[in-house]
A and B are shown apart, each in its own frame.
Chain A
Amino acid sequence: MNWLKRSWRDTLFKRLFVLLWVTLVGSHFLAFSLVMSQIGRPDVGRDGGPAREAPSAWSRLLIFPSLPPMGGRADGPPPPRELAGDGPPPQPPPQGGRAERGLPGWLLALDYGVRMLIIALAAWLGAAWLSRPMRRLSVAAHGLGEALQRDAAPPRLDESLGTVEVREAAQVFNQMASQLQEQFKARGLLVAAISHDLRTPLTRMRLRLETLDHEPAAQRCVADIHEMDALIESVLQVFRGAHASEAPVSMDVLALAQSLTDDLVEQGHSLTVQGEPALARVQPTALRRVLGNLLGNALRYGERAEVTVALQGDRVLLSIDDRGPGIPEAQLESVFQPFFRVESSRNRATGGSGLGLYIASDLTLRQGGELRLSNRPEGGLRAELRLRRA
């Protein structure tokens, strides 16, 4: 079915082919009918043939647009070409009465076939010729996206190539590309500058608080500094996520889940991991961050987490179950929006930045994975991460 759909695609070649064919047929039809209508008039014709012959001339239209017309009968009207008076002498009738009906079938087919072939060739060449600037543009536009992601120089189109319209398009594209790149650079610098300028005063505050070690308020200030720093880090992650493109490799998902869990257990959290070794095609640093965010969420809201790794067809399924309050069904999709917070968690003890799930789902999609949340029937939230199997 797919090849059928593909072969019906609207291409420049098909458009040109149809256009040329319609032009050819149309021009023949028009010219021929005009000519024939002239022949049909009593005062026209080499020998001023009688008007009664007009119907037989019209009957030749049935064989259109096969030109040049075949030789007519000796007593028939002359073929149009001879009207000019400089054509070759009328040919003898090919096969008696068949001449009245035009060319024999196989010749007609040959005639049509040759025309169609030549027109197809012309349309193909024309399409290749006309679409070259478009293809260059689409290649450059594709390269632009990648260049912006990798912070490389954007591709440039040759502004001295092709027709006037193409040159103009190339100029506009080049301008747009350099503007975009400047904006991306500016955004990168801005984020880095904000991050630096916020973290420097936070560092000063943290050092100042060291002199007030035993004040209970100082401890709360330290907690606030950590919270602000975590928020800055999340915002930076959002920015980096859009920027960095990490090469995918095969990774042992169970080993990763085990490592992150072991680290969290070492810090006194309670988690378990079970499952089978499963290799997935992923971006390792990004996946580590995704899992880190999901495990952090599970522990923040659910106190304990159970991680399961399983193979499921061509996917690796990693699920994280917690024992927390879950998320109201109506908000299960909204939590992936940046800075969205489930209403009940809007207090400082469980706060979080509201960016963790957004970052997790963004990074998952980037590596061809899928992240879903659901409430477990026995209570608590389940996060399901599906990754491409290696």
Chain B
Amino acid sequence: MATITSKPETLVGKRIRRREDPRLITGTATYLDDIQLPGMHHACIVRSRHGAAKIKSINIQPALDLPGVFAVFTGKDTEKVGPVPCGASLPGLRVPHHHLLAMDRVYFVGHPVAVVVATDRYVARDAADLVEVDYEPLPAVTDPEKAIAPGAPPVHPEWPDNTAFTFHQEGGEVDKAFAEAEVIVKERIISQRLIPAAMETRGAVADWKVGDKTLTVHASTQNPHLLRSILAAMLGIAENRLRIVAPEIGGGFGSKIQIYAEEALMGFISMKLGKPVKWIESRRENFMGTIHGRGHVDYYEVAAKRDGTILAIKLKLIQDLGAFHTLLTPAIPTLSVLMMPGLYDCKSIRADIVGVFTNCMATDAYRGAGRPEATHGIERMVDILAAELKLDPAEIRFKNFVKKDAFPYSTATGLIYDSGDYAAPLQKALDNAGYKELRAEQQKARTAGRLMGVGMSAYGEICAFGPSPATPAGGWESATVKIEPNGGVTVMTGSSAHGQGHETTFGQIAADELGVGMEDVQVLHGDTSVVQYGIGTFGSRSVSVGGPAIYYAIQELKEKIKKYGAMLLGTDDVSYANGTCIDNKTGKSMPLAQIAAASYRAMQLPPNTEPGLVATYFWEPSNFTFPFGAHIIVTEVDRDTGAIAIKRYVAVDDCGKIINPLLVDGQVHGGVAQGLGQALWEQVVYDDNGQLVTGEFMDYAMPRASNMPWIETSHTTTPSPVNPLGVKGVGEAGTIGCSPALVNSVVDALSPLGVRHIDMPLTPEKIWKLVERGGKA
């Protein structure tokens, strides 16, 4: 029997190193491609090389003739499977039928056309090259603004205007505010397409057991239960005969939420051939066939008074959707609209979204999903307004923040901000950065002809997705907590980690609530045959929705523990603390392990009480949570090369109560890296024919260790009233806060040249040209 240690100290709030790390640092974790099954075959997918083309014919015979090739499937074979789902619904939304494999036409580079199954991954790849696809290329369109211009080639012939939907949202008195405004500023702001690029690509291993009629799919997914529900429907099998296993997952950042054609294809193939089959996405496929993020062209107008008071915001948002909708594609820009006012007390907003089909891969949820775009927009516009009015960018923010005593605060977009003190992190960031001294230093630098910039952002975000009515598939989260017969604690969470460290943070919460040691708590996730139905990990929801589910399951469990404790101690007055039941009258106590053993042995039961110590809780949050913060970046631009040096990076984030500061720092750092990636280097480039020019790490500039600045992190703490833990979420904060602060800093550096706005990424070439041309683009 394990020794169960009672533990008086609390673990929540401590910098504790992660429990998942020993397997990861020794190379003994099992990721998807590590799975080998007896008789396993390998699949390779033939993909379109054209942005748009008719398929005149496909000859699979040369591939079939290659020794080791087991089967080749094309669109005709899989026509009845699927379709690849879109879970978002908007009025009048056009949803193209998304077959697993292309039928008579391809719509983007990377569009799956055929799949080859062979005994070995090398043979499968050889055979894929032998499939002869005869294409008739068609004109393509990859720029969303060109796609909605008259005469553009139609992505889907049935919808020649290339418009999937339009969406209007309005609150307050926008026209009146613009009529009365003392100043109006306008700008076109781009949030370019990005590639999520998790270090582990996607993949699936499907294993059909014909005797049991059960299918197991090991998949690199952020939400195994959702995948199970949808895959069962796509494949036409009962959900209780489908098991999804998310093994160790090498990152997701939103790109493993979606249900992709390949997962269903592997299920289809395994069921058809009666063999286990594996598909592992190559990096090139990952770039062309896993969702992209962002893809906005935003036209902003802000009405204000001369004292800097923001009166109203108008936004025309052109969203590049790609050719097909993946799970959440059309919903993402609506999140941008919800976040339009940012942290500011602006009661009049008007937004019009045009969702545009292009001959590109779908855009969908990438770290932040709509909120980085919105924050970039409003935070750029606030700086543009400040420049117009010759106000300090910090002062204009303080002036417009929702005030500390205004919470809960109803926004013009229909949200209720839970809690906040928006001035606090900005003030702390200004203090940490030494703002006054920086401005003085900047004056000196300018006098000396140097281009130094100080830029800031004050960001807010929507986390803890979310109340169920606001989500396409349920916004609750589940937990089962079991005290095993020897007193060990097993926590099963419906949230499914892919690098976040749930085993550690959830272990801290459970250990504290039960008063046991971390080593006594085992956290399980990711296997639908082990864990009760759950929703998954995305939108900074794990600790803020999954955490409370664990908390409440344990509260139920503690009541049951006390019933057993009272019976076993022969008293009617017990309390439970530090893993022990105590008779409040006599002081006699009994440890959890002994109570657990008695509950399973069940020689005697308390009145109206079942044997065993197990509780399951499905927690439905009443609202989102709204973390916030402020980032300040000091930059210097090299006139001769256009290179941007980041001199300081000061981040102050308020994510509510912190469970583990070490992990929170890690989330902020990683988020900032992705934000800087967007601000400085990363962009997806398709040429006019639909070729993906940035098709590899060679052409797509992801941040490296030598590019990253030192990030000075600190926090303010405003607990959320939405959940009993007071937590808000931090997974996306760094990404959201970063890009506007960086661009604001560089625009500030170049402001002596008259520069007012620069679109991302701020490549040295772009900056050098601006400097060379005296500030003119």
* A and B are interacting partners: no
Which residues of B come within 8 Å of A, CB atoms?
A: none
